[in-house]
Amino acid sequence: MLNGVYYWHSSGGQPPVKLSPERARESLERVNDPAHLVFTGLGPDGNQSLTVDRDVRDRLFAVLGRAKRLHEPGVEVPVYGYVSSRPGDHTVLTARLDDMPGVPWRIYELDVFADPRMIPEAKGLRPTPGLSAAVATKSGLRLGLTKDEVKAILGWPHAEDENTLSYGTYETLFLTLEEARARGYDAEAARRAAGRGREIRFNFAQGRVVSFYVLHTVNIE
């Protein structure tokens, strides 16, 4: 939003598109739907879930098993990775965590891949029966979707090319005192503006989603 007017910025050097407040609100609501943060179909019986920006490392280990930290060059945050141990299933899930002062090792990003050959850290993945191709967000984001199916859930993408779709929002807001303390901040920090960002990105091969991730962060500025 600039001077009270909403604009949609896309890739490819195209000029920003001016949006009506109604259309802008609809877009923000779609991308910021809390259901995108809840990954379901996990656990040996497929009845467990992980939630971005809420669950922590102990919960990750409880659902998928204790794993060793992956070593990504230039990446300082802890990353843990899993691959399905079910016959014929090669699904991969990686989790990125942030060491918040009040909530250590909170998950801020979950990535899903159709095949371990898609990531260079494949040898460090922990095999687990708690992961399968059935993993999906509560909103219906999953492997195998077409572009039209993704757009039916999330709307007009912020960036698109032949093999990718990207969505993202960034907002400045003020946390309640309770929200700030839950994130490990003190009362003074709660008086400062917080930045809330979300990014959802899909990669396609032969017209179907072969990987996607959901990232969500809230930080006091």
- What pLDDT is attached to residue 211? 98
Reading phi first (left if > 0) and then psi (alpha if -120 to 50, else beta), residue 149 is in alpha
- What pLDDT is attached to residue 4? 53
Whether the predicted model's global pTM rises above the 0.75 cut: yes
pLDDT in tens, the chain (221 residues): 444 556 665 555 667 777 777 777 787 889 999 999 999 999 999 999 999 988 999 999 999 999 999 987 777 889 999 999 999 999 999 999 987 666 679 999 999 999 999 998 889 999 999 999 999 999 999 999 999 999 999 998 888 888 999 998 877 767 777 777 667 677 776 677 777 789 999 999 999 999 999 999 887 76
Other C-beta atoms closer than 10 Å to the C-beta of 105 total 19
- What pLDDT is attached to residue 24? 74
- What pLDDT is attached to residue 1? 46
